Structure 1
């Protein structure tokens, strides 16, 4: 199969209406999309990614009002949707029967979001169905933030990549669920926990880190992994431990002594965590192709998008423990 990279929304819509796959840009990462209401189309997502079918998908819609066709929202969920959609924000909601069990891995709940990207919103508004779309990469690898990243991983497996430029957020959406009058965060991501707490006037609930049966996307303990072993922790101690190895560092804005600056990759010289998140996956992919023995990552400040960065790096290193 030939894979084409282009910017033709109409062509992308036609391919999706034919039951095939299209990689779509969002503000978070690129997604691998299919008609969410067509099980034969959705199966192709799992096959193209080598993704296990017990891992649920996120459904993308073109408007907040469209959500009511597929899921049930109470007043608090409505409030959250209107505050953070379109954006890097996903709601886990009780699903209606029209949503196939394949999309939710048999769960009675479906994860829904409205992406904040002009091309993909234009695409969604042309389609008579929502799009199921996990990240557009081979399962378990670093998520793609450019069309070229998608092509590098899925060329020959999908017909079309809709090129919307580099993703502006760079980490996946925050996933929340309203349980009674509480808000449970199932995945930290592009919308800050602090912003959600400011809206609802109280603390959110954070579930256990280890999830054996995911209720929504992005909960598996091992994920986002580079091929090169990645270790997160005290950089100075790890440099000493791997003194005989070819090492690279992923850091925020500080260089470390004892290693050439060319081997140290700072995500934001200004210490801006939003900028750092935008660059994270791209830098992880760059380092994975440079022949390093080990990638060492800092522990980032546990605030704002630093929480999402730490989460992704923690999951990326698990495979190598």
Structure 2
């Protein structure tokens, strides 16, 4: 059955539409909604049966924990233990694209936590997301609203392309602002551990708190979106780094090449999507990947950005999307 699509103004969402979607969440249904990062597939985080529908709709591995979205920092106390450091990070960066991994309270179902003792929590800044969570009066578990492994959706049409028939309601408030998922940090130990770079540049975190990289697989398990292939289009994706050798393999071959990035490609390509800034690249990457695959290219080449600012998040997403050996490329 096709979902109910509710089109709302992002800055002034219709209260009746928000209430209608919130009632679906309260009753254990699935609602796709916009955040400032990507569109999320939401369910009542405290209803295990509802959360199970997320995993089924996405085809998501059961060992991949979910991010629980709240409407205020105070709401976190209902689902997790919050110390002074975590509280300070909330004051500095919430609402916004920062997810904190905290020690979970018993009320959080095991399926929401993927069986871990921790829970990932954030407060989004998108007005529609906040209005929905406030109206539902429950924490909302919400990974990206796409089939597992696919590019994340940054508009409602991408949600429909992947999940039409698997979600009850889609709230359409236009394209998202950031375009990549939230930054995830583990705040349960003595060190603040960066589990996933994202929409909050790491430099902003480092300016207020020491941040270390994860050591060992166990701590990496605490973050969503880090242990399985993600973000991949339906055609192979390769990375264009500092030199032009990547392009040599396409010369004199009957290959339709699609390109996404900031720099101008050194050869003629079949279709290209170029951005003027790193912010634009981050905002438009996933929609560009979906656009290029619909243009039936054989290969997508992606510009490999510098390792700073949002470039760090882009490198993470592109690396996961391009997880293949060169010998696997369908070159004639």
Structure-1-length-normalised TM-score: 0.93
- What is the aligned-residue RMSD (CA, Å)? 1.8
Distance 1:208 1:308 in 2: 19
Counterpart of 2:302 in structure 1 is: 297
Distance 1:154 1:233 in 2: 31
Counterpart of 1:74 in structure 2 is: 83
Distance 2:216 2:260 in 1: 23
Counterpart of 1:214 in structure 2 is: 221
Q: Is residue 80 of structure 2 the alignment partner of residue 63 of structure 1? A: no
Superimposed CA distance per residue, residues 87-143 of structure 1 (whole angstroms, 9 cap, x where no aligned partner): 011000000000001001110000000011101101111123100110000010000
Equivalent runs, 1:148-297 vs 2, <5 Å: 148-200=157-209, 202=210, 204-207=211-214, 214-234=221-241, 236-243=244-251, 244=253, 245-252=255-262, 254-260=263-269, 263-266=271-274, 268-269=275-276, 272-297=277-302
Structure 1 range deviating more: 296-305 or 241-250: 241-250
Look up the SS of the partner of 2:259 in the other structure. Answer: strand
Q: CA 1:72–1:174 in 2, change beyond 3 Å: closer, same or farther?
A: same
Distance 2:256 2:138 in 1: 49
Counterpart of 1:3 in structure 2 is: 3
Query: How far apart are 1:215 and its partner, in Å?
Result: 1.6
Query: How far apart are 1:320 and its partner, in Å?
Result: 5.9
Superimposed CA distance per residue, residues 42-62 of structure 1 (whole angstroms, 9 cap, x where no aligned partner): 110011111111111110000
> Are the counterparts in 1 of residues 195 and 220 from structure 2 also a CA contact under 8 Å?
no
Distance 2:38 2:146 in 1: 10
> Are the counterparts in 2 of residues 232 and 298 from structure 1 also a CA contact under 8 Å?
yes
Q: CA 1:135–1:197 in 2, change beyond 3 Å: closer, same or farther?
A: same
Look up the SS of the partner of 1:125 in the other structure. Answer: helix
> Are the counterparts in 2 of residues 76 and 181 from structure 1 also a CA contact under 8 Å?
no
Structure-2-length-normalised TM-score: 0.90
Q: CA 1:212–1:155 in 2, change beyond 3 Å: closer, same or farther?
A: farther
Distance 2:37 2:219 in 1: 25
Look up the SS of the partner of 2:195 in the other structure. Answer: strand
> Are the counterparts in 2 of residues 54 and 213 from structure 1 also a CA contact under 8 Å?
no
* Unmatched tracts of structure 2, length 5 or more: 9-16, 327-332
Distance 2:321 2:216 in 1: 14
Query: Structure 1: which 4+ aligned runs deviate by more than 3 Å?
Result: 208-213
Q: Which of 305, 313, 321 lines up with 1:316 in the alignment?
A: 321
Q: Which of 116, 121, 138 lines up with 1:107 in the alignment?
A: 116
* Unmatched tracts of structure 1, length 5 or more: none
Query: How far apart are 1:298 and its partner, in Å?
Result: 1.8
